Chains A and B, each alone.
Chain A
Amino acid sequence: MKKRLLAAGLAGAMALSLTACGAKEETAATTAAPAATEAAKEAATEAAPAADDAKVVVFWYDESDVYLGSVRDAMNKEFEALGITPDNQFAANNQSTQIDQINTAIAGGADILVVNQVTSGASDTAEDIIAAAGDIPVLFFNRAIGTDGSDVAVLEANSTIAFIGTDAPAAGHMQGKMIGDYAVANFDAIDLNKDGSISYAMFKGDEANVEAIYRTQYGLEDANAVLEAAGKPALVYFDAANTDCYQVDQGGAWSAAAAKEYMDTNFVSYNEANGNMIELIICNNDGMAEGAIASLQEKGYNTGDGHVVPVFGVDATDNAKALIAEGAMTGTIKQDAQGMAAAVAQSAKAIVDGTAPAEALAGLKDERFSLDAECASKLYVAYAPYTGE
């Protein structure tokens, strides 16, 4: 009898979880309905959000990405202001899952697919998505759909698609210049062992991601260019045996954990006592910078008093801003989450209302946005250096 009760209870719990999801759907529908009548009343006033039953499905590569989390918050609000309830889907960093989600959304009658592609830099995958979508417009954002110009060919061949992102090399250039300027100004303070050169560590977010590759390359190259111009020696990678000159998150998740683990391991043989301490840290994103700082702080550095090893990131997440305010982190590059969200939401709205994607992008009037010089269906959201308010 007991066993039967247990089984019945389990079955009941399952049924409950199913209806629980249903309830959520219903509330969404009921909140949309009054909004619709309201909109009809206030149709004359432009500010009132007109309820829109357009089916906007947003596909995110992963739910746990910190920067995209802030983009998502902002984007949900932007869509809400436009009277659209977006359907957010998460692919858990798996391209096949995302393809399944996209096919299912197409079968479910989506009006626009807003895609944060998992396999960044594979234009074939983008072409498959576009082919599956047929007449349904596809708005790619954040993660580049092709390397070295192969995305432009795809964008120009398809009139139903557009891309909103950042100019991938720009963040690297900007970070490199920031590091160079900082190193020139504070050279002797950074050079802990006074050997006349600064040894650095580089943490790469993902081996295959275009942004990660450019940031890793230009973050260093541009910094060295600034140092050279000022007559200072170039940065030296701390581990002479590592010819890659970076350590990469092998899970491709740009994670703090990966950077922390690398730093903890690096500390075993590279520390102040041995006179070969890492003196400057460059990270592809703020998540990895946080991990590196956590490791430094465990060893007594970057805690407010005592020596601060300069750590640089990209994204300007809230955590990174807080670390910069505390003095534990030196600088980051602001990747404008709000701007990205606004650009995506507004152009998605224009596209479902019948505007061609390229025109929708051109219609965005904001100083934060700029169209690619060669391709009209590619929009960039500007970066900005950030070293504290």
Chain B
Amino acid sequence: MANPVKNMQRTIAEYKQMSAKDQKRFLTDLVLNNALYILMAIFVIYTAVKQENFLTLGSFANLITQVAAYLPLALGIAGCIVLTGTDLSAGRAVGLTAAIAGVFLQKSDFANKMFQNLPEVSTGWIIVTLFAVVAIGAVIGLVNGFFVAKFSLHPFIVTLSTQLITYGIILWFFALNGNNGQPISGLSREYKDFVGGAMFRLGGVAVPRYVLYAVILTALMWFIWNKTTFGKNMFAVGSNAEAAKVSGVNVFMTTVLVHTLAGAMYGYAGFIEGVRAGSVAASTGLNAECDAIAACVIGGVSFVGGTGKISGIILGVFVLRIIFVALTMLGVDSSSLYIIKGAIILCACALDMRKYLVKK
């Protein structure tokens, strides 16, 4: 494990010892287990040949910017999937927090400013807003986690309910102060810079600050998942809640905290979403959870529960974004995009399940 070169040498040595039949099986397994990587490689090469702009620095900057935008939501929802659950409220939570962040950080001289007596936008106020929306997201997650853990309700039901409730709150919020459902616009320059300001340029394309934030969040989540008791408990509960309980894990607390952490991530995602779109509408965040869940399962965070890696989630988000960027550049119509996306999710999950089926 520690030394990949030695590992490879050992594998090759083992391979040479095998009978012809075993060798064939070994190769088939190797191809199938890595089918996703192989297909992606073929796909990337094909696109690069067809579209010379695909493999440029500018295109890469565009890709990582998109990955950074979709990653936080996937990192949050992954915890729910590890617990064999799901979270349908993620998209609406992003919509609500994006709206609140937008209203807090509107330009002070903007004609349609929803709340006139908010403080002038400063770095301090931006950070207060960030914590506020992360807290609001966390509250939504807390409600999810509480009902899942307390009443043993399936997360599908609980989060479907909170999805609807959150959307109701969004609509109500957009109608406040004579706003009448208008999109929240006029976001302040400071807020836009804080989130989307260019750190540096790659091939002439600006790389926004939220790419850095995504890296920090990923490191944080990796630490939580792998190095804390809470992370280990999460996997224990996900593998077998009964066994975890018997071994002294507080299943109730773990479930509540996983959902709360997920909610906090949605809050952060909402914080950057408004800047990304330039304005916030009532429909912001609609169906965002679908892409996040898809990224997780492609990356091997299994609905079987108790398995998943941060690196897998990153891979999943990358796969989805590469497909999007490549097909958009190739000018493929969106109907094929959906079909290919669906096919890839199906294949990835089938190949993933294959590992479990073989074990049995």
Contact = CB atoms under 8 A, between A and B. Distances in A.
Given A7-B32, A18-B46, A94-B283, A124 B59 contact: no
- Chain B, interface size category, equals 35 or more
B46 A107 contact: no
Contacts of B281: 95, 118-119, 122, 208, 252
Interface string B45-75: 0100011011010110110011001000000
Nearest to B168: A250
Contacts of A252: 281-283
Contacts of A11: 32, 35, 39, 347, 351
Interface in B290-349: 324-325, 327-336, 339-340, 343-344, 346-347
Contacts of B127: none
Contacts of B186: 124
Interface in A1-38: 3-4, 6-8, 10-11, 13-15, 17-18, 20-22, 24-25, 28
B51 A10 contact: no
Contacts of A10: 346-347, 350-351
Most buried by A among B51, B281, B358: B281
B284 A95 contact: yes
Contact of A207 (B180, B325, B344): B180
Secondary structure dominating the interface of B: helix
Given A123-B185, A124-B278, A125-B278, A24 B328 contact: no
Interface in B264-290: 273, 276-279, 281-284, 286-287
Contacts of B66: 100, 103
A208 B332 contact: no
B101 interface: no
B354 interface: yes
B263 to A, nearest CB: 20
From B46, B171, B175, B277, residue with most partner A Cβ within 10 Å: B277
Contact of B328 (A4, A105, A124, A248): A105
A88 interface: yes
Contact of A15 (B39, B183, B334): B39
Contact of A125 (B56, B279, B327): B279
B12 interface: no
B329 A7 contact: no
A364 interface: no
Contacts of A124: 185-187, 278-279
Given A24-B332, A25-B331, 17 more contacts: A3-B358, A14-B39, A18-B42, A18-B46, A21-B340, A24-B336, A90-B334, A92-B334, A93-B283, A104-B62, A108-B59, A119-B281, A121-B182, A122-B185, A125-B185, A128-B278, A129-B278
